[in-house]
Amino acid sequence: MRETTTQELFNRLDDPNLKPIDTRPADAYNGWPLENEKRGGHIRGARSLPEKWSHYIDWLEILQSKGLTPENELVIYGYDPEKTEKVARQFVKAGFEKVRSYHGFKEEWSANETYPVESLQRREQLVPAGWLYRAAVDQRDPDTLEPLSVTGRRIVIGHAHYQNPDDYHAGHIPGAIPLDTNWLEDPATWNRRTPEELASTLTQLGITHDTTVVLYGRFSYPDNNDPYPGSSAGQLGAFRCAFLMLYAGVKDVRMLNGGMQAWEDAGYAVSTEVVQPEPVGDFGAKIPGMPELAIDLQEAEQVLNSENSNLVSVRSWSEFIGKVSGYNYIKKKGRIPGVVFANCGSDAYHMENYRNLDHTTREYHEIEQLWAEAGITPEKYNAFYCGTGWRGSEAFFNAWLMGWPDIAVYDGGWFEWSNAGKPYETGEPKTSI
């Protein structure tokens, strides 16, 4: 396989037909220096295509989803030269003729600030399994490697589920406590609980405003009796809890990238030992600490009437056009007039358009591109919603990770809007000619 040099790659970095391909784990692409490189992140303009994906039968479909075609000239790079060459050869077998490998990323590119790198702005809030292992198993501060008993850092790991404690008992990350989403949101309205209720729940869980909280969920029920196969309800619930904790005022809320699947893919053991929370006396700050992150019905109407704001529908197409309501407890079918569509995936229980096949969060450049095509940009105020707040919370968290400044979740979503007797539309939106 022909190789390229650092200077050759740098000289052609602005060539629109040249596509650098990053075969490292998604966490390295996001900015985590997994092999102690001087600078974390990826080569400017690179696409994320981890080597482990090359084993998937859907590999060619992944290439298509990333807009990669045989007309492109590719430069493949990673940590391991053998794995890099393996992916490069696979591209050649798929009909790509202009393929070269690059083996200087760690020693040359990342080590020299002349060469541009990009990274997810809040990559610290989307952690790799190895980072969490150091806290959960080694009992060390993952950032300093000092014992937690010495640093005094409080880290609470939450295994999210919805009214399904058996999901936790079937196996969880060592040290994790169970976290029922109903403890943070009202099961009657699916909206956030009152500040008093949030304070009671968080302190009972041992969480204060300055606790580091790491959340994750499972992607299928352990008894293989999942009513929505592959729906990742647990991980969706974890994103919902992450949003609610940010709203409450927890300063350091993190998600395990890829959830329970990432932990198991890394070969780490799971535990069935029940961990009891260690309650604290006081949250230590006023709740909500960030009230601007959640809006309600009246504010949603104001967003719709503003030219510089978007009310963003993170629902499926069938929900958006009113073919289905998405839920057995929501009768009306349709959409809020004037919203912007940010397709979640196949139905109300899936977020395929925001996830990779290994359940890690999708490459953030791709999400930005999809949103930009719909008019969803960081220059505008964007309030995300869905049926009851879960998918909206995950979309919100993606924008949060990217550092978007003016974002919120319309907490009530379609459930509240439709029950309030507000106007709605069905059918495909009309387009102007």
Active site residues: 386
Rounded Cα–Cα distance for residues 184 and 241 (Å): 7
Write out the two tokens for 96: 């790509």
Strand bridging mode 177-180 / 340-341:
unpaired
Contacts of 329 (CB under 8 A, 6+ apart): none
Strand partners of residue 127:
256
Q: Measured between alpha carbons, how far is 135 from 424 in angstroms, rounded to an integer?
A: 48
CA distances from 355 to 41, 271, 364, 416 (A): 19, 26, 10, 27
346-351 long-range contacts, Cβ below 8 Å, gap at least 24?
346/316, 347/228, 347/316, 347/318, 347/319, 348/315, 348/316, 348/319, 348/386, 348/387, 348/391, 349/228, 349/231, 349/233, 349/236, 350/228, 350/230, 350/231, 350/232, 350/316, 351/232, 351/236, 351/391, 351/394
Closest-CA residue to 226 (of 350, 319, 354, 389): 350
Q: Compute the distance between CA of residue 399 and CA of residue 388 in angstroms, rounded to an integer.
A: 19
SS3 320: helix
